[in-house]
Structure 1
Amino acid sequence: MASDYYALLGVDRSATPEEIKKAYRRLARQLHPDVNDAPDASERFKEVSQAYEVLSDPQKRQVFDRGGDPMSGQRGGGGFGQGFSFDDIMDAFFGQSSQRGPRSRVQRGQDALLRLEVELAEAVFGVTQELKVDTAVVCEVCDGSGAEEGSQPVTCGTCHGQGAIQHVQRSLLGDIRTARPCPTCHGFGSVIPDPCRACDGEGRVRSRRNLTLTIPAGVDHGTRIQLTGEGEIGPGGGPAGDLYVEIQVRRHPVYSRTGDHLECHVTLPMTAAALGTTLDLPSLRADLEEHEGPDAITVDVEVGTQSGEVVVVRGEGVPRLRGIGAGDLRVTVVVETPDKLDDEQRELLQQLATLRGEERPEARLGATHRSVFGRIKSAFRAAGE
């Protein structure tokens, strides 16, 4: 036994199509799972949607009013016996039927994509931004119906509310029935004789809206943030699609990002690398208008640091988007050799070279980076000795 679809929508049995549509839209907004987290919201939303599917279809509504079940999926009469018609056979083979009924004017809107450029600090530590979005919104004049105030859609006189025109073609197998969308109502089964002047009968208009977007800490270049129900309103005032915001991260003059780590290069004079030093690097957080913590990061360069060595500062990288903690800051040291010396500096360096026995140094070929085969060869030589 079918449910009482009128009771589900809260309308009388004599309700007009416009009253049924308004009741459905009101309940759909209340019960949609994206806005209602009640345990039974999803099931009630399905029931309300099914009720609207039946009562918005003239044929299904007529079957229901006579005590039948329009959602039983069975067809009566004709054909090949057992309640099947030739249309059922065509549907089984080709996935379509010549009897689908009029399509609803209320449809879901399309998803929208917006690309947003942010600074590296904003992507790393998160930020809240105000967006201006140009999308379709419900027409306030007709409330999405597409009809001028005081009027409503009327049954199409060409297809008599069917939404399709049937054609019968004789063949050796008998009469083959095909259906095409009605050219007058375009498959809706009804026409709007007096369209809304504000939206030209679309039920929606273009408008600019302001949205608040919260960018979570740790997003990367190309990350997409989904805003459910913030896309295009559908035709006939149907449910809105989703808005996707794709993050585009601008280049930073000092820092770059690799995964969850921040990286930078620091150039030091030869003496600082040899003697060791402490550096204060500007914190990436300082790029934010509002931030917590110090404006600088202390980096300890050990005595004898070689050019190309990487100093790691733990936990000063990118917060993990779907995890705990953060990556590291990796500082690559570049040792700068002086190319202009005065007489006093040259004399001091010559004295240092004499003290270290480096007046005529011998080049060490491959001493630092030996190949795998070289290390294996040395190991066998040592074992033989």
Structure 2
Amino acid sequence: MSNYYEVLGVSRDAGAEEIKKAYRKKARQLHPDVAGPGHEEEFKEVSTAYEVLSDPDKRQVYDLGGEDALRGGGFGGGFAGADFGDLGGIFQSFFGGAAGGRGPASRARRGQDALVAVEVELADVAFGATRTVPVDTYVTCTTCGGSCCAPGTDPVTCSQCNGQGSIQRMTRTLLGQVMTSSPCPGCQGYGTVIVTPCKDCSGEGRTHRRQELEVSIPAGVSTGTRIRMSGRGEAGPAGGPNGDLYLEIHEKPHDFLEREGDDLYTELRVPMTAAALGATFPLQTLDGERQVTVRPGSQPNDEVVLDGLGVGRLRRKGRGDLHVSIVVETPTRLDDRQRQLLKELAALRGEDDVAPAKDEGVMGKLKERFSGR
């Protein structure tokens, strides 16, 4: 069982700064670029000791019970059994460089997502539709197929980094001389150089073009709804995968129908006599002409509901309803005969002696107030 204090060469009452300085000294001595290979296990032990003693909670548990307390004290099995097989991240954090390169970078990158506004008619969102939408976007270059090279040529290995994509340099730091790694300036980290780029795409592997895309508009969408089309966005550079395309719906207003959710609303203007006697009228709907029956004695703003003639429900079966509001039209121009007939009707109904409506305006209210004194 290791004594972490002895591993770092500090006393049990050492402070955080003393522990940190001791660790850096040990780490510098055991670093492969300084001490050479064969010291990995010692470096692991020093790292483990520092991880425990630099954390107040873990240090307290260790002081009470040693490594066994750490293994059973809720610290994920303790550091004694931790995996330090990949020392690259540790070297990177403390010495500013990498233990071995990560390899050359890829030129291929994912294309950006695209957002396109699509104007649709009410009938499109009621029933669903397929539309052709023009989209200005990047597409994979048809000349080079995304390779970025002129036809018949290939990238060549970078002579500066020999295809590694990075250059290693010896750097002097507070811990001494350590090896650092940085992207190769000759190939920008790709490991290869394109000597003869494709002329059609200027070596990017993609070109800008307007495309006509066929898109499906599902029933029930509304203004502001976004439809995601996976992989239909911009092509990525150097043959990278496409981004996604988002269609934002903008619904055009209808001439005589208004939409609220899945339901539609409209008005039907009928003569006063038809409202009194009842009648049937034709009405234009999204499904063609339908007959609307106005019941005898219908009043203004009475409503007739036509089931299932509204908008299709998004991702659900069925459709909303069409609500028809009755607007009763009172005649404004009467000839003598018509006026006489209305008077006779009023007399028959006992309505010929109905008093005129009381004036409820400002002057009427003042008159009523002062007359009551």
- Tell me: CA distance 1:349–1:166, structure 2 relative to 1, closer, same or farther (3 Å): farther
Which of the residues 87, 90, 98 maps onto 1:88?
90
**What does residue 360 of structure 1 align with?**
354
Is 1:163 the counterpart of 2:165 in the alignment?
yes
* Contact map agreement 1:165 1:181 (CA 8 A) in 2: yes
The separation in 2 between residues aligned to 1:323 and 1:128, in whole angstroms, is 19
Which of 1 and 2 has greater Rg?
2
TM-score, length of structure 1 as denominator length: 0.63
List runs of 5+ in structure 2 lacking aligned partners. 1-37, 45-83, 359-373
Task: State the TM-score, normalized to the length of structure 2.
Answer: 0.65
Instruction: Out of 154-163 and 79-88, give the one that drifted further.
Output: 79-88
**CA drift at 1:252:** 0.9
Cα deviation digits, residues 98-119 of structure 1 (max 9, x gap): 9543321122222222222122
Corresponding pairs, count:
279
Q: Give the 3 Å change call, closer, same or farther, for CA 90–308 of structure 1 in structure 2.
A: farther
Deviations 1:244-302 (A, max 9, x none): 222222111111211111111222222222222212111213xxxxxxxxx30111111
Q: Does structure 2 conserve the Cα–Cα contact (< 8 Å) formed by 1:77 and 1:84?
A: no
Other-structure match for 1:64: none
Matched residue, 1:329: 322
Going from structure 1 to structure 2, the CA distance change for 1:345 and 1:110 (only over 3 Å counts) comes to same
Question: Could you tell me how far apart the structure 1 residues matched to 2:119 and 2:198 are?
Answer: 38
User: Residue 71 of structure 1 corresponds to which residue in structure 2?
Assistant: none
Write the distance in 2 (CA, Å) between the matches of 1:157 and 1:342. 103
Of 312, 315, 333, the residue aligned with 1:340 is 333
C-alpha separation between the residues in 1 aligned to 2:232 and 2:177? 49
Partner-residue secondary structure (3-state), 1:102: coil
- Contact 2:88 / 2:100 at 8 angstroms: preserved in 1? no
* Matching residue within 122, 125, 146 for 1:123: 125
Separation (CA, whole Å) in 2 of partners of 1:220 and 1:97: 55
Matching of residue 318 in structure 1 with residue 311 in structure 2: yes
Of 223, 235, 238, the residue aligned with 1:233 is: 235
State the secondary structure of the residue aligned to 1:124.
helix
Match of 1:349 in 2: 342
Judging changes above 3 Å, is the alpha-carbon distance between structure 1 residues 280 and 134 closer, same or farther for their aligned structure 2 residues? same
Moved more, 235-244 or 311-320: 235-244
Distance 1:97 1:344, change over 3 A: farther
Q: Contact 1:98–1:177 (CA<8 Å) still a contact in 2?
A: no
How big is each residue's C-alpha offset from its partner over 1:197-231, in whole Å with a ceiling of 9 and x where there is no partner?
11111111223333322323333223333333222
Comparing 325-334 and 227-236, the one that deviates more: 227-236
Listed as ranges, the matches of 1:41-80 within 5 Å are 80=43
CA RMSD of aligned residues (A): 3.3
* Percent of pairs with identical residues: 50
Amino acid at match of 2:271: P
Structure 2 residue 247 is matched with structure 1 residue 245: yes
**Unmatched segments (≥5 aa) in structure 1:** 1-75, 286-294, 365-385
CA distance in structure 1 between the partners assigned to 2:327 and 2:179 by the alignment: 81
State the Cα deviation string for residues 298-356 of structure 1 (Å, max 9, x = none). Answer: 11111222212221111111122211211100011222222332222222222222222
Structure 1 pair 350–168 and aligned structure 2 pair: CA distance change class (3 A):
farther
Query: 1:204 aligns to what?
Result: 206
Q: 1:175-204: per-residue Cα shift (whole Å, max 9, x none)?
A: 677655444323322221111111111111
Q: 1:329 to 1:169 in 2, by over 3 A?
A: same
Asked if structure 2 preserves the Cα contact closer than 8 Å seen for 1:137 and 1:232, the reply is yes
- Matched residue of 2:328: which SS? strand
Kindly state the Cα deviation for residue 362 of structure 1 after the two structures are TM-superposed: 8.4
Q: 1:227 to 1:144 in 2, by over 3 A?
A: same
Return the alpha-carbon distance in structure 1 between the equivalents of residues 88 and 318 of structure 2.
Answer: 64
Corresponding letter in the other structure for 2:264 = L
Aligned equivalent of 1:60: none
Aligned position for 1:371: none
Q: Closer, same or farther in 2 for the Cα pair 1:150/1:348, shift >3 Å? A: same
Correspondent of 1:299 among 262, 282, 292: 292
Asked if 1:309 is matched to 2:302, the reply is yes
